[in-house]
Amino acid sequence: MAIKAIVLRAAGTNCDAETFFALQKAGFEAGKVHVNELINGSKNLSDYALLAIPGGFSAGDYLGSGKVFANKILFKLNNEVPDFIKQGNLLIGICNGFQVLVKAGILPGFGGNYNEQLTTLTLNNPAGFQCRWVKLKGQKSRSVFTKGIEELNVPIAHGEGNFIVKDKGTLEKLYAKNQVVFKYEENPNGSTDSIAGICDESGRVLGLMPHPERNLFGINAPNSAYGKIPEEGEGMKIFRNAFEYLKK
């Protein structure tokens, strides 16, 4: 039986094609769906096993990165998305998708509460758009997406990737519950404790600022050398882990 994945789009989304391709390459039967199709009921989230919210600049980031998209989920799909997670499905938010997840309160999801905002992603410090490759250090986390990943070389492309928490207690809880998934080797945006990605308590929801879908082939990486180019890019590990988890 096919394992279906949905790539959720909104006005301003621009990484849906790459994410769609990555999911297909990993083995999913993927489809691209606009968020309004879920809201009006023409598409049903329950038909899928994985939900991906890709990168881009939804609503132009005019009210803050991911805020409009997050509000659509929070106020129009406030039952569907939490139920989707609690039924054992997977959810990944990349870059703008990560911004959406934190601003909708889906992450960090302490105690299965997917409607409380305790973290955010705001303007880089120092301010400015960052577009370059970074090295991520995998942490001891619950995430099913990162099994066996100790480090990951992937690009970033964002102006609002500065991860901050509501208070010291929230940060301590993220570590205590093994929900910090990735940290930057060199912090490019001022994120608290160099955090680049977090998961929920179940390990089935992942949000990260860097773009694994932009390193799917060995030739993508800037450090590839002639005659030593791997067949597959490091970013594919994320999507293959997701497929293998759901295939069980």
Q: What are the tokens at 199?
A: 């998961």
Within 66-107, strands assigned E span: 90-94
For the record, the structure tokens of 15 come out as: 């990484």
Pairing mode of beta strands 205-208, 90-94: parallel
Catalytic option among 18, 160, 199, 213: 213
Going by the DSSP 8-state scheme, the letter that residue 67 receives in this structure is H
Residue spans of alpha helices (H) in 54-211: 67-76, 80-86, 96-103, 168-176
CA distance 16 to 34: 10
For the question of residue 15 being annotated catalytic, the response is no
**Any catalytic annotation for residue 131?**
no
Nearest alpha-carbon partner for 104 in 177, 175, 8, 182: 8
Catalytic residue among 95, 158, 160, 234: 95
**Amino acid type, 73:** I
Q: Which two tokens stand for residue 207?
A: 């949000």
Domains and CATH numbers, the chain: 4-247 (3.40.50.880)
Catalytic residue selected from 15, 18, 211, 234? 211
Distance CA 181, CA 65 (A): 21
Q: Tens-of-pLDDT digits for all 248 residues of the chain?
A: 899 999 999 999 999 999 999 999 999 999 999 999 999 999 999 999 999 999 999 999 988 999 999 999 999 998 999 999 999 999 999 999 999 999 999 999 999 999 999 999 999 999 999 999 999 999 999 999 999 999 999 999 999 999 999 999 999 999 999 999 999 999 999 999 999 999 999 999 999 999 999 999 988 888 766 677 888 999 999 999 999 999 98
Do 159 and 126 form a contact (C-beta atoms < 8 A)? no
Active site residue 34: no
For residues 228 and 96, what is the distance between their CA atoms, to the nearest angstrom? 33
Separation CA 126–CA 123 (nearest Å)? 8
